[in-house]
Structure 1
């Protein structure tokens, strides 16, 4: 019998005992076509004899690899990125990887150094939420390890990515406010250079066009990077003589800043926004939130990365784009007074 290593048998151990390659072992365990029945029987016999566990697949495929993958997010204080990281970790653990986490703090100029540091620590692959639209440093990283992007698409890169239905979610949430009778909806958005900011504005605009209403440019605020900026922008909008009758916010931090401004001003306007958040269902405000599984973004990104690692000695698969669906969740009743006012405008 082949001796087991201290950390348990690897896919290479199974392959040696079955007299096949590690890639053939991987194909058998994934029930891939093109493997003879005799080979399958040898592999399963070796798995049984060694007590091999499937969750060591990805780590075993890279002989001498570190068993680590790197994750770079833009703001770990944002619950969205915490959930995404948990999704990555869940799949990484399943396949025998450890995860190294770095936070760019939304500083695009900081991101290349974080990427280089993770590569210096010999990670076998990277999952990155880009902090900006310039991604040349990621192209350089791809010469060393596979890279998968999350939440934002590649710009000039041929690589996998996992996105949210940003346009669709924003359009559906805005459509709910319009259906309630609101025609003066303020838009509170993150920087327009970000993919999410641009796509969610596009969805906001499309919902208006579908009902023949043009958004009021004086009610659009972009470039909001945190809840404090969103609070200030909302208070300024509420101070206008012809203030908005509803608000659309492009992420949870902006929604929270807007809600704080409403509380301070004593106003009760309906709020629509991306990202569900804790206690949203008990605030007593009319909320329309775009909800989705942030953990699933991380899980999907990890699966794409590990799939590339499993095909390391083959021609790489074509780049793939996975989209995580959204759904609209409504809390509280629409404000009929504000809806009546919007109809009179």
Structure 2
């Protein structure tokens, strides 16, 4: 097939970007059937380093018989390729759920941008949690645009602020209620009611704090996933900080993803070349034999405590300057 031939004609670095380009031009409809959708040139090119921009341009030129690039808009000329090209079908199937989420995120972000970035247009509740979960743990081939990232981060911060404001409102209401009861002269009943209201307020405060920490945890997990390739060390530190604030599924997944990355840690021990490797049947032990005449065993099992393991690998916590960059509204804490 011509599309497969064109794909194989690209360099390995260019081929890595092809899924991101094509999946930006696909949407999953309500009937769960894929269809073509337009994308802006900025969606594909903004914020990319120059080598990547050049690679994307090369991809668009190579697939010019399939992709139209007119008036700052990119679209598929032949939507039938979605079913005719097996490799593209596999990419779509692998990210099918995420494509539907991405379409909703893109639409909401553009609406927010076009309507003066009003707080009322931000994501909240289940919609926000669904997008956070996908961006932190479910994305495979897709990269978020600057607008989408800004919209998602602003939505997350707005939820955190809302939780704090509700907590303060509850506390203020309780104080006013206690004052009213005291002013009525019913000292005994007022004392009892005050105890009840303090208990309620404490419960609301604790609940609000847990929600705020969970939201913060998901935000940090998302940021960790975003920069895993560009800055692995900071990604590790953000992942453990995410787990420090709350044991959310997103925090757990990003720590395991980082720990499972074969590039995260070099196994040091042999003094010469390694000539043979083998895993134990249960996959938890790796044996290596080297030209130095030694055989070494390595524990490669999934850690029982990912937090402690990742802290040990990172070797430190976020510095106060790094903390201020990613958590400007939160008091500094040493995590590891």
Q: TM-score, normalised by structure 1?
A: 0.23
**Greater per-residue strand proportion:** 1
- Max Rg structure: 2
Which gives a bigger RCO, structure 1 or 2 (Cα 8 Å, sep 6+)? 1
